[in-house]
């Protein structure tokens, strides 16, 4: 095995990405945690997932003849909207079996990432935070700025409703709720409520996620 290959393998392992082989199944496990880092580089002491690393990796997984399914482990606290939505779009467009497992929390852009997979699962102790689009820093106060915010919000809501079973009116209510968060607009939804609302497919854990992938891989093999 070449030194170059070993170096690339170490880099992938460092970003929480590894192909797991067990019996007849080869599943790639990808962790998306902390903030989604986009064009702005976050401080070194901030836990982040870099979108420029995840995007080509997803393309490689989809093209790989060895990898048969993708498990995405999620524990996010927000981040770059465009980068997170870009990753979600790639996951949603994959033909291979995909499953997401929300652990701890799915905040802001973590919601589209969770529903992007063909099957979404949330741990009973996990939660999801839904709120409208906000940007930090200096904002130019012109009408076009508010139009831009509105268009981003529509894109996110369209993606979530397209890739889950939640009603748009319910999603809108949860995002713009002013009665739950003390210093913010939005709603924290626990695992059971996320399933009841149709946002996430089921409650469960790692074994449930792997069982789903095994079943889908078996179905794909039988069709061939």
Active-site residues, by number, are 108, 131
- Residues 6+ away with beta carbon under 8 Å from 156: 81, 85, 109, 112, 133
Report CA 213 to chain centroid distance, whole Å: 17
| Count of CB atoms situated within 10 Å of the CB of 128 | 27
Nearest 5 degrees, angle CA 9-CA 99-CA 80? 70
Helix (DSSP H) and strand (DSSP E) numbers for the chain: 8, 9
Whether the CB-CB separation of 72 and 100 falls below 8 Å is answered with yes
Look up residue 5 and give its DSSP letter.
H
| Dist CA 97 CA 62 (whole Å) | 10
CA 62 to each of CA 54, 55, 147: distance values in angstroms, whole numbers, following the listed order: 12, 11, 36
Nearest to 92 by CA among 141, 27, 162: 162
Tokens of 49: 């997932």
Q: At what angle do helices 81-92 and 51-63 cross, to 10 degrees?
A: 10
Helix (H) or strand (E) segment spanning residue 66: none
């Amino acid at each position: 095995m070449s030194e170059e290959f070993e170096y690339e393998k170490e880099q992938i392992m460092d970003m929480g990405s590894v192909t797991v082989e067990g019996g007849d199944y080869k599943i790639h496990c990808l962790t998306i945690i902390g903030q989604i880092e986009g064009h702005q580089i976050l401080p070194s002491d901030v836990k982040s997932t870099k979108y420029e690393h995840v995007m080509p990796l997803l393309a490689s997984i989809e093209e790989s003849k060895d990898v048969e399914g993708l498990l995405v482990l999620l524990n996010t606290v927000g981040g770059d909207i465009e980068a997170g939505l870009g990753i979600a779009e790639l996951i949603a467009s994959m033909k291979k079996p995909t499953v997401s497992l929300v652990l701890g929390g799915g905040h802001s852009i973590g919601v589209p990432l969770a529903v992007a997979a063909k099957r979404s699962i949330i741990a009973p102790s996990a939660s999801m935070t839904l709120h409208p689009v906000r940007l930090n820093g200096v904002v130019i106060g012109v009408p076009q700025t508010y139009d831009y915010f509105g268009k981003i919000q529509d894109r996110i809501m369209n993606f979530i409703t397209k890739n889950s079973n939640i009603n748009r009116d319910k999603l809108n209510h949860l995002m713009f709720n002013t009665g739950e968060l003390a210093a913010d607009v939005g709603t924290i939804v626990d695992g059971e409520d996320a399933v009841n609302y149709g946002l996430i497919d089921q409650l469960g854990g790692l074994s449930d996620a792997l069982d789903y992938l095994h079943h889908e891989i078996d179905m794909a093999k039988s069709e061939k």
